[in-house]
Amino acid sequence: MTKMVQSSKEEITDGDRKTIKESTVERTPWIESLPSYTAIGGILIAAVTAWVSFANYSSQYKKDVDTRALAAKKPFLDKQMEFYVDAVETASKIATDDVASGEDISHFWKIYWGRLGSVEDS
């Protein structure tokens, strides 16, 4: 490994006294440090790649969990919609008929206090 030596002399005057300060600095050419820089760059690239891979994996995992949760809730949501539609149809029948039939009113209260309670949600 070749080293470059840089010398410098500085003359300092303090009243009647003269002092010469000499200094030398040894430096390694940057081209000889290149393998170190390459290794550091490789490590940084590997770290960024690992971080991006982990971020992608986490995002995909969350999407999969959400999809599975929705698939698991689908039968419940279908039943909930069926019960709500029945309640809305019965209520609209009662509201639009000139004279509401006792059968419709009875049916509404049965579903309101019965099966709608099993699928209520905020």
pLDDT for the residue numbered 120 = 83
Q: If you write DSSP's letter for every residue of the chain in order, what string do you get?
A: ---EEEEEEEEEEETTEEEEEEEEEEE--HHHHHHHHHHHHHHHHHHHHHHHHHHHHHHHHHHHHHHHHHHHHHHHHHHHHHHHHHHHHHHHHHHHSSS--HHHHHHHHHHHHTHHHHH---
Q: What is the pLDDT of residue 70?
A: 93
pLDDT at 106: 93
- Entry pTM: 0.49
Average pLDDT, 10 consecutive residues per value, the chain (122 residues): 72 81 79 83 95 96 95 93 93 87 91 88 74
